[in-house]
A and B are shown apart, each in its own frame.
Chain A
Amino acid sequence: MNQRNRGSEVSPLTVEGLTVAYQKKPVLRNVSFEVPEGKLIGIIGPNGAGKSTMIKAILGLLPRVSGETEIYGRPYKEMRRKVGYVPQRESVDWDFPTNALDVVMMGRYGHLGWFKRPGAKEREIAMDCLRKVGMADYAHRQISQLSGGQQQRVFLARALAQNADLYFMDEPFVGVDAMTERAIITLLNELKAQGKTVLVVHHDLATVKEYFDWVMLLNVEMVAYGPTEDVFTKSLLHQTYGGRLAVFDHEDEAILVDSR
């Protein structure tokens, strides 16, 4: 499967007319786009712009009003194994009775199928993934005893264990220490080097240019989408954030502060 799709013309993700509503009020309106393979794509927009909603709708975690999505040219249901997901860290209770290694092994559950328990092979894969995020020493640590950044890296390792080709990450940089931020960005670049595609919901406008090849500006509707240098401009950002954005010019470069 990997070989067949690699290098072919099929886009890892196409979204056509996606609309999502929470009780009659659309939170995401008629969004269409196509994702190029092997790129790091930042999804940017103000709070309530529908960034997480879009990811969840694509993954079938939220019901959609309308719209089609295809993963490598096929329905998501058939392509689950090609998709990895890093939810927001706060979405789970970290006081759950389990350790870091066990959480990472959950990334293999989809491959294991029903009833089968994870074994030595899954343990090995999980340890490998923990090593990649610099968390091998914490494998047997109860997850509540990890710092926020370490928890985020465990979630990342779990997504790595899924061994997917297309990744969705929901605000992986929120509330993490500088070391974790470095670890995540190194990992993102490694994934990219392997030809994998990563969509990241991102908040920190100051790092967008450094981190992402492509950017999607989203505020309920899609404002702009394309290579970072074309899209990450003052006027388009103003259009996305409205008055909530302060733009400062500093040595020729636009440094942007999200004044939420």
Chain B
Amino acid sequence: MMEFSWSVLADPNTKWILMGCMLLGLMSGMIGSFAYLRKQSLIGDTLAHAALPGICIAFMLTGVKSLPLFFIGAFVSGLIATYSITVITRYTRIKADAAMGIVLSVFFGIGIVLLTQIQHSPNGNQSGLDKFLFGQAASMIHSDVYLMMGVSAVIIIACTLLFKEFKLLSFDPGFARGLGFPVGLLEQLLMFFLVMTVVVGIQAVGVVLVAALLITPAVAARYWTDRLGVMVVLSGVFGAISGVIGTLISTTTSNLPTGPLSVLAATTVFGFSILFAPRRGVCAKVIRRIRGNEAIRASERMREMQRQDIRLRKEESL
């Protein structure tokens, strides 16, 4: 099985796809850690769904399929979506989760309407925009992978340089503001990276699933460590491994889609983490409880023996 997959790697095209999916997993894992810790797991999903109408409008306006243009479109509609959520939560009694649900589905609905419109238009068939729903990693070309390299390099450098700032922002934004850090700017920067990741990821994994790559590796990584630095790196590694496994399985078996397979791989890592992680994992907890109970029982037995001992001595002395 493994030899077979290595032979597949001889195909240069597969190498590029592998590289792309690995980078996508890496950057979404890293940036996703901060989104998860800031309790913004659903923001990634909202951004991804909101990106669809932006991408469609970018295509309708220019008539060409180019990632930078799609990026601008996705970015603008992502911003409008997050702004809408802020407005709804601020000026109504609706809570953030409901607001995200509303905004996400409205934007996605608009996106689907526009997508259908495009497909029925003369040059719609060549657009390949329908692939953005569930993603098609095989459609990645060299320039797409170069873009991914660039984006992931930016994200890795930013997460390294601004690690301290992002940590403080995620843990205690109020305190960060008190110290004089421009919290709004940092938040927007994180959001910007999130949008970049989502947009470059949509092509491979699709609008519907890209959020899974942001959150699942981060949640899995959280199980293994109590240190943020380790968590971010681990989450990136989990994401990269998921991307690689997804690509390998999809190229070695009969035409299964890469993106969903990567998400399933990430979920497998997550499941393994839940069960077997030290301390936080289910198994560790069960073992700890059994051991704890046993220790209590043992000490109870000891106490009972001592009590009997005292009773016997009293009887003897009588």
Whether a CB of chain B sits under 8 angstroms from the CB of A103 is yes
Query: B181–A109 contact, CB under 8 A?
Result: yes
Residue of B nearest to A60 (CB): B177
- The A-B contact count (CB < 8 A) is 72
Given contacts A96-B170, A106-B171, contact A142 B179 (CB under 8 A): no
Query: A85–B178 contact, CB under 8 A?
Result: yes
Query: A117–B163 contact, CB under 8 A?
Result: yes
Whether a CB of chain B sits under 8 angstroms from the CB of A69 is no
Across the interface, A96 reaches (CB within 8 A) one of B37, B178, B180, namely B37
Query: A97–B172 contact, CB under 8 A?
Result: no
Name which of A87-95, A205-213, A238-246, A249-257 contacts chain B: A87-95
Query: A110–B172 contact, CB under 8 A?
Result: no
Closest 4 CB pairs of A and B: A110-B179, A142-B226, A80-B180, A85-B178
* CA A98 to CA B222, docked complex, whole Å: 11
Query: A109–B171 contact, CB under 8 A?
Result: no
Whether a CB of chain A sits under 8 angstroms from the CB of B278 is no
Query: B165–A98 contact, CB under 8 A?
Result: no
* CA A115 to CA B168, docked complex, whole Å: 13
**Chain A: residues with CB nearer than 8 A to chain B?**
23, 56, 59-61, 77, 80, 83, 85, 87, 91-93, 96-99, 103, 106, 109-110, 112, 114-118, 142, 158, 162
Q: Mark B168-186, 1 if CB is under 8 A from A, else 0.
A: 1011101111111100000
Residue of A nearest to B221 (CB): A97
Please give, as numbers and ranges, the residues of chain A lying within 8 Å of B15 by CB-CB distance: none
Query: B164–A97 contact, CB under 8 A?
Result: no
Whether a CB of chain A sits under 8 angstroms from the CB of B314 is no
Query: B227–A92 contact, CB under 8 A?
Result: no
Please give, as numbers and ranges, the residues of chain B lying within 8 Å of A103 by CB-CB distance: 171
Query: B228–A97 contact, CB under 8 A?
Result: yes
Please give, as numbers and ranges, the residues of chain B lying within 8 Å of A109 by CB-CB distance: 164-165, 168, 176, 179, 181
Whether a CB of chain A sits under 8 angstroms from the CB of B213 is no
Please give, as numbers and ranges, the residues of chain A lying within 8 Å of B120 by CB-CB distance: none
Query: B168–A97 contact, CB under 8 A?
Result: no
Query: A87–B164 contact, CB under 8 A?
Result: no
16 contacts between A and B (CB under 8 A): A61-B178, A85-B178, A96-B37, A96-B171, A96-B228, A97-B37, A97-B222, A97-B230, A98-B226, A106-B167, A109-B164, A109-B179, A110-B180, A110-B181, A112-B164, A118-B164
Please give, as numbers and ranges, the residues of chain B lying within 8 Å of A59 by CB-CB distance: 177-178
Query: B178–A106 contact, CB under 8 A?
Result: no
**Chain B: residues with CB nearer than 8 A to chain A?**
37, 39, 91, 161-165, 167-168, 170-172, 174-181, 222, 225-228, 230-231
* CA A110 to CA B163, docked complex, whole Å: 14
Given contacts A98-B228, A106-B172, A115-B161, contact A77 B180 (CB under 8 A): yes
Query: B179–A80 contact, CB under 8 A?
Result: yes
Please give, as numbers and ranges, the residues of chain A lying within 8 Å of B37 by CB-CB distance: 93, 96-97
* CA A60 to CA B176, docked complex, whole Å: 11
Please give, as numbers and ranges, the residues of chain A lying within 8 Å of B161 by CB-CB distance: 115
Of residues A103, A106, A142, which shows the largest number of chain B Cβ atoms within 10 Å of its Cβ?
A: A106
Please give, as numbers and ranges, the residues of chain B lying within 8 Å of A61 by CB-CB distance: 174, 177-178
* CA A106 to CA B172, docked complex, whole Å: 10
Distance in Å: Cβ of B229 to nearest Cβ of chain A: 9
Residue of A nearest to B183 (CB): A61
Query: B180–A87 contact, CB under 8 A?
Result: no
Distance in Å: Cβ of B202 to nearest Cβ of chain A: 29
* CA A128 to CA B227, docked complex, whole Å: 22
Query: B226–A106 contact, CB under 8 A?
Result: no
Known: A114-B165, A115-B161. 6 other contacts (CB 8 A): A23-B91, A59-B178, A61-B178, A87-B174, A110-B181, A117-B164
Please give, as numbers and ranges, the residues of chain B lying within 8 Å of A142 by CB-CB distance: 226
Please give, as numbers and ranges, the residues of chain A lying within 8 Å of B177 by CB-CB distance: 59-61
Please give, as numbers and ranges, the residues of chain B lying within 8 Å of A117 by CB-CB distance: 163-164
* CA A215 to CA B211, docked complex, whole Å: 51
Residue of B nearest to A114 (CB): B165
* CA A92 to CA B225, docked complex, whole Å: 19
Distance in Å: Cβ of B263 to nearest Cβ of chain A: 24
Query: A92–B172 contact, CB under 8 A?
Result: yes
Distance in Å: Cβ of B288 to nearest Cβ of chain A: 13
Please give, as numbers and ranges, the residues of chain B lying within 8 Å of A97 by CB-CB distance: 37, 222, 225-228, 230-231
Residue of B nearest to A145 (CB): B226
Query: A87–B227 contact, CB under 8 A?
Result: no
* CA A93 to CA B226, docked complex, whole Å: 13
